[in-house]
Every structure is written in C-alpha cells, then in structure tokens.
Amino acid sequence: MLGMIIGVMVQLLGVFAQILQSLLPYLPQILMWSLIAAFLPFLFLCLPLAYLVKQEHKNYGFKKHINLLKKFNQKAWITLSVLLFCSVGIFYCSYNAMGKLGDVIGGNSILFSVFFFISWVTAAYGLFLLFDLINKGKIMNNIFDLVDDKSAMNDFLSGNSKPVVLDIKPERDIPLIKKQVIGQDHIVTDCVEHIARMARRDVRKKPLGVFLFVGSSGAGKTELAKAIAKVCFEGRMSEHFMNQMKAESDINQLFGPPPGYIGSEKGGKLTQDVKKLRSCVILLDEIEKCHKSIFDAIMTLLDEGKMTDASSGEIIDATNCVIVMTSNAEQKEIGKIVQEITDVDDQSRAIKDKLQSFFKPEQLARMSIIAPFKPLSREDLVQIIGKFLFKLSAENKVNLVGLSNQLLEQLITRHEKNSDYGIRNLITLIERDIEDGMADARENGFENVRINMRETGKLEKSGEPEKKPHVVGVPDEVDVQQQPYLQSTTRQQINNEMKG
C-alpha cells in the first residue's frame, strides 16, 4: 500500500516537472502578465473610483486618491479583490460563451457546445449577481464603510484634510475690532488676548473661549461676536437665536433630530456648521431665553469642546471654535454695578450674584470671561451713528461732507429715553429718508451730500415742530470738508452742546 502511494506521488511529481519544463520558454510572458495583473485593481477599480469621487469633490486629485487608498483597511482590499475577480470572470465567461455559441451555430459538436454555452452563461450570470450584491453592501460592507477613520476620510473628501491653522495676532486684530465695536475697548482686549493664548496651546481639550456678554442692550454684544468672527476667523460664524428655542424639543435645531424623525437626514444646524467650518465663532444670542434643558445640553460643548449630532451619532470637534453667548438678563442692575463698583474682583462677584437668578453656578463656572458691557457714552453714540452714516453714503456712492447737529441731538436724546431698544433701532427710523435722499442726489449728478433737518409741518408730543432729516446735494465746486474732519468736528460740537 505504501509503495503504491509513493508510486503515485512520483508520477505526480513527474507530471509537475513536465509542466514546469513546458512553461519555461513562456516564463518572460508569464512575468509580464503577472505585472499587468498586479495593476489590474488600479486600472479597473482605482481609476473609476477616483473619477466618480472627483465628480462630487472637485478638489479631489490623483495624489489625494493615493492617500485615500492608504486609509483602507484589510477588509476593503478583500472587497476590491473580489470585485476585480467578478469583473474579470464575467468578461472571461462571456467570451467563452460567445465562442461556444459560434460552435452551435456552425454545427460543431452541438450537444457538447450547448452544454458548455449554458455553463459559461450561468457562471457569468452568477458572477454578475455576486458583483451586484457586493456593490449594494448585502454581502460585503460598502467600500467607504470599511475605512478605519471615517471622520478623517470625510474631511479628506470634502477638502478639509489640512490641519486647522489659527492666525490670531492681538497686536493686529485688537485695533481692527475696536474700529467696529465702539466704547468697549477693555472687553475687546480681554477676549482677543484670551483667544490668542488658547490658540498657542499644542494640546487643547476645550474651546478657544467661552464668553458670556451681559449688560446694556444695544451696547455692542452681538456686534463684538460678529467682529471677532470677521477679523479672527475670516467671517466664519454659526449664529443661533436662542429666544426662538423655548421648547425642550427645539434642541433638535442645534444637534439634529433622532434617526427616523423628520429632518434627521440633514442633522443639526450647529453640529453641521461646525463640521463644515471647523474653526469659527458660535453665537448663541439671548441665551437666557432658551429652555433650561437646552442650556444643560450644551454643557459638554462648553466644557470639552465636543458635541454629538443626534441624527448620525457623529462626534463633532469644536476645540477650534469660540463660543459667545449674549444675555440681557438683569441688564439695568449690571449697568449700575459697572458704574458704581470699580474694583474688578468685587464687580465680578456682584455680577455673578445677579446672574444666578437666570444661570446655575456650574453654568457660570464654565465661562472663560463674563464681560459686562457698560452703557454707551454720548461720544460713543456719535461715533456709532457716524459709522452708520458713512457706511450708508459709501453704499449709495456719495460722499457725506456735512451733517446737522440737530440730527445727532435728536437721535441721542431718543436713545437716552428708550435705551432698552438700542441705537440701531433709532437709526432704522431715519434710514429710509436718508437712503432715499442720497439716491436722489446721486441721480441728480451730485457726488457730495449734506444731511440737514427740516420741519414736516407737524408737531411733536411736546408741542415743538417735528423735524426729519433731509439730504441735499453739494456742488463739486464748493470747498467741502472731508469725512474725518466732519467726524471730529461733530464729536467736539456735540460734547460742547450736550453736556449735562
């Protein structure tokens, strides 16, 4: 028995040696086709994959495609290999089936040819079904689901593979922000320096800053958040009006509804904004007016700089963001504290005590800076009104070269009587009259304009004649003063005329 087994093995070795001897002349061809076979996955799958992805992501190139392939794990390569086998097998079976069909038509060994024709067609169809099932993820996972780091690959495909670079320079940014936010210089300095200090840390496990802006309405709280976004983050901001989130279910607006609910395919506005922008200012306006459970839900965001999209379960990194919350809570009392208490520590304790009627102690403890905005002085108000008027004149392509003091006096007096509404609301009352007048002056050929006050023929509640702004064109040949002179002159005159 043993001798018989040995005899069979010797015969098999002989056959194998004969096969090798017969293949020896074809060894160069075999090596060549082996190299071609090694590149088949690239030719049949990688290039089409790169092309398809590039249609969705225009910044996706050949070099990025190679980096993408490096992110695939072992299962992904197995899937690619099986798909390649199916593709080549379908082509080979179809080719042989056509050959046997030709033999049937030619009448050569009809029974034999029909049998093999059916066999090759069946094999080709089976491979096609296998390919289709793999492609739909019913047998093997979808190729993109097999990536080790899905978040990194999503960033890569969307063009966000580069690390976030924070360019915060206090000596450059603070003066620029002070030009936009008037009268709150110390708050601007504190906030920008804090952001710059956090940005320099190599390892950071919390946001760049968590700021709570409190105090007088219309003093520039929202404006400062927008200015920080414009100067320090190239305008990237995610803004949310918390006064519209008074129900517990409104949290879905921020973090998205659970899977299966309406809108779950879009995710939350806050989470998706931060995922897309990566580095920005998150503005939660009038935070004290939202439902209490919503504030509790953002505690992890304030503490660790992370949040979870409820729709997809994805964890979003917000450590490169600044979180700004504004609040009008206890604004009158805080205004008094700012004016009466000069010591910084005593002032901070008094403000926190007042805010505890709206915020929990653990919530206030998460704040990097609690900034009380002081009421604007008359000089600050003049600069804000001037900034608005100069901007309006630039938008209408005219030069503002003159301004009646009565207009400024009227606006500031009204603001002091209704300070709760902010200076912007008062400017809105005259915006239409001024903008229409500037447009008319430009259409009539004037490049320079002056804003006067004229009587409307009606009486105020006080019995005095009602006056409204009136824009008049100034001829070019008249020697007019330029805007910087107008601004400084107006400030000096207002200070002199409105003391007390």
Tens-digit pLDDT profile for residues 236-250: 999 999 888 888 888
Rounded Cα distance, 77 and 143, in Å: 9
Rounded Cα distance, 326 and 316, in Å: 23
Strand partners, 471: 451
CATH number of 170-373: 3.40.50.300
Query: Which of 471, 465, 491, 380 shows the shortest CA–CA distance to 431?
Result: 471
Rounded Cα distance, 428 and 111, in Å: 93
Number of CB atoms found within 10 A of residue 456's CB = 11
274-285 exposure pattern, b = at least 16 Cβ within 10 A, e = fewer: bbebbbbbbbbb
Span 109-144, pLDDT tens digits: 777 777 777 887 888 788 777 777 766 656 655 555
In total, the chain counts a number of residues equal to: 500
The pTM of the full predicted model, rounded to 2 decimals, is 0.61
**Per-residue pLDDT at 494:** 40
In the predicted model, residues of the chain with pLDDT beneath 50 are 73-74, 479-500
Number of CB atoms found within 10 A of residue 438's CB = 23
Rounded Cα distance, 361 and 324, in Å: 18
Q: For residue 284, give the 3-state DSSP assignment.
A: strand
Number of CB atoms found within 10 A of residue 91's CB = 13
**Per-residue pLDDT at 282:** 94
Rounded Cα distance, 352 and 397, in Å: 47
Ramachandran class of 47: left when φ > 0, alpha when ψ lies in -120 to 50, beta otherwise: alpha
Strand partners, 209: 322
DSSP secondary structure of 75-92: HHHHHHHHHHHHHHHHHH
Do 194 and 368 form a contact (C-beta atoms < 8 A)? Answer: yes
CA 274 to chain centre: 5
Number of CB atoms found within 10 A of residue 326's CB = 24
